[in-house]
Amino acid sequence: MNAEQQKHLIEQCQNNPAAFGQVFDAWYPAIFAYAYRRTADYDLAKDIAAETFLKAFLKINSFRWRGISISAWLYRIATNELNQYYRRSKYKPQSLLQLLENPQMEKLLHDEADNEREVIAKELKAFDDYNRIRASLPKLDIKYQEVIALRYFEQKTNTEISEILGKNEGTVKSLLSRGLEKLRNLIG
């Protein structure tokens, strides 16, 4: 969603609270996953995500567009909620009761509840795989580390890697192939 679309969405939400469902649908999975990765507690992450969206819903009318994306705003709220959790021995949502009183928000929170656990389990497995790869990568020659990191961590194309490293594109492909094989052998 580009800046103009986000600005328009904020205006819609300010004029019609039901439009906040679009904000929820677009960013809830990412905010929930962020909270879950930070806490490793499914129920706590749901509470933090719910609190994040409730605070956003309650503050949407005071949101002024200054070029800061909705995503950044939501992540900032979620980060504040997570910081609150870490400052206290136990997280206590302050306005969850307000959430339950609002049928629009309650419906929004339950729309994706059925598949959240499965999605998060897949993300955690991918994160574990990433950590295993990240730990094994320094054991490779630097020439393999460079191409693998650029390709898979930085999402660069072979052409971009070729330009960055000043190597022929065929050489990059070859290094990637050999490097991945060596990495597979290291990981087992």
Q: How far is CA 143 from CA 132, 162, 173, 183, in A?
A: 19, 12, 12, 13
- The string of pLDDT tens digits covering residues 93-121 is 555 555 556 555 555 555 555 556 677 77
Cα 164 to Cα 137: distance, rounded to the nearest angstrom: 19
Give yes or no for a contact between 159 and 150, defined as CB atoms under 8 angstroms apart: no
Rounded mean pLDDT of 75-98?
71
Give the chain's length: 188
Cα 146 to Cα 176: distance, rounded to the nearest angstrom: 9
Q: How confident is the model at residue 89 (pLDDT cuts 50, 70, 90)?
A: low
* AA identity, residue 124: L
Which pLDDT score, from 0 to 100, does residue 47 have? 92
Give yes or no for a contact between 57 and 17, defined as CB atoms under 8 angstroms apart: yes
* AA identity, residue 117: R
Hey, what are 61's tokens?
Answer: 């009318």
